[in-house]
């Protein structure tokens, strides 16, 4: 019966039979067995360590991949050059803009800037031109054969290097802004100015503010450089796609809160009050 398996009355093996079995295999009489046991032990230790190291390596690889994804998600735009996304760290910086305006004790509008900041606006001078030269990155850069199809193909190839060329948007925009700065007074007499005393500091403020916004956005969409057969020279193709915020949506949102224009500000205020603000 089943309960008899656990009965205290079941028959125990004879002690003499135990002794006879042990006598047949004395522990000290089988050196091959001991060596085999040691090899088994070492093999088990090796397998255990290999498993632990494999798990550790996989964990580190996953953690590294996740950390890269966490940093880069939302940082790069789809139109930014893929090589830039792979080679430039996805690091954001908190930058305090320095293009300030205020009225001094004489009630004159003046531009302010943080102490120690390099100046990029003001009266023309060698120091000012040098500051802009040092600010600029490369407006034209080389593009490899592997990168060229991603820019739409058909780029101009430099015969001396067999490399293609393109212009990073951020540095092209800074170049354009510098051109505007250098030619501010070209149409000076064409446009009326109500108060010329505030025009110069205001213009300097605008240039410096736009400069910092361009640098802050850092659009790395490329403008491919192509060959113009009509002109017999290469030229940047600026008609390319960029990743942009929905400007129309931003515009409409601000118009619903317009506080400046006579035809809208009352409705804007009433709308906000109706929403409980």
Q: pLDDT tens for residues 84-124?
A: 998 998 888 888 888 788 888 888 888 887 777 888 988 88
* 141: three-class secondary structure by DSSP: strand
pLDDT band, residue 34 (cuts 50/70/90): low
> For residues 90, 91, 96 and 99, what is the CA-based torsion angle, rounded to 10 degrees?
-30
User: Which residue has 């494999």 as its token pair?
Assistant: 54
Q: What single DSSP character describes residue 140?
A: S
pLDDT at 240: 87
pTM surpassing 0.85?
no
């Amino acid at each position: 019966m089943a309960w008899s398996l656990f009965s205290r009355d079941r028959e125990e093996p004879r002690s003499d039979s135990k002794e006879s079995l042990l006598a047949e295999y004395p522990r000290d009489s089988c050196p091959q067995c001991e060596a085999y046991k040691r090899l088994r032990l070492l093999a088990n230790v090796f397998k255990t360590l290999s498993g632990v190291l494999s798990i550790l390596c996989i964990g580190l690889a996953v953690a590294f991949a996740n950390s890269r994804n966490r940093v880069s998600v939302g940082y790069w735009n789809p139109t930014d050059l893929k090589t830039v996304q792979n080679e430039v760290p996805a690091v954001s910086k908190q930058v305090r803009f320095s293009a300030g305006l205020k009225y001094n004790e004489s009630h004159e509008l003046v531009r302010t800037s943080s102490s120690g900041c390099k100046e990029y606006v003001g009266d023309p001078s060698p120091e000012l031109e040098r500051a802009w030269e040092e600010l600029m990155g490369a407006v034209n850069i080389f593009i490899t054969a592997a990168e060229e199809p991603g820019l739409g193909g058909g780029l101009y190839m430099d015969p001396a290097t067999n490399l293609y060329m393109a212009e990073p948007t951020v540095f092209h925009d800074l170049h354009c802004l510098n051109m505007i700065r250098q030619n501010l007074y070209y149409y000076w007499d064409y446009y009326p100015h109500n108060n010329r005393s505030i025009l110069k500091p205001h213009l300097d403020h605008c240039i410096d503010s736009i400069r910092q916004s361009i640098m802050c956005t850092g659009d790395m969409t490329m403008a491919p450089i192509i060959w113009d057969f009509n002109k017999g020279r290469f030229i940047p193709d600026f008609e390319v796609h960029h990743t942009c915020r929905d400007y129309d949506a931003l515009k409409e949102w601000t118009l619903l809160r317009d506080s400046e224009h006579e035809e809208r500000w009352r409705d804007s205020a009433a709308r906000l009050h109706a929403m409980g603000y």
